Amino acid sequence: MKKILFVCHGNICRSPMAEFIAKDLAKKAGLASEFEFSSKATTRDEIDSSGVGHPMDIRAQRKLTEKGIPFTSHLASQVEKSDYQKFDLIYCMDEENFLDLNRITAGDPQQKEFKLLSILGSNNDIDDPWYSGDFETSYQEIHRACEAILRKNK
């Protein structure tokens, strides 16, 4: 089973969207048993002082619902150094996430950390819709990348 982690700043918008989009695509392709998808944050910005993560942003939930992507309850959590060994591939949404992740995991000796759009041959970032409000563009970019991940790793 291929274990894939999606990472963004707070784990309430882009990375959980990627997790649920990838799960849905894998299920529809009959590949659900071949993949494990998860998502985490590079920061504690969406985790309260008692250690409880905030739920997925309501706008992300609305976008997934609009697109017919099922999702379950999700609470933000932060990447830990040990996650590097737990996952086969780690995809970050933007350059800042990539640099933060690299700092948390103390480098990438096995070369399994990537920006998500690199699977499509792009070095571009997926802009944070929490700031921009553009959940449609984020959804489209994430969806295309998740399709490519399944094609490349099945």
Residues marked as catalytic: 8, 14, 128
CA distances to 2, 42, 73, 108 from 89, rounded to whole Å, are 8, 16, 23, 11
Contacts of 104 (CB under 8 A, 6+ apart): 42, 79, 80, 81
Strand partners, 7: 40, 92
- How far CA 76 is from CA of 46, 82, 123, in Å, comes to 6, 17, 26
Strands 113-115 and 89-92, bridge-based pairing? parallel
Q: Which residue has the tokens 């990447």?
A: 79
Q: For residue 153, what are its two tokens?
A: 């790793």
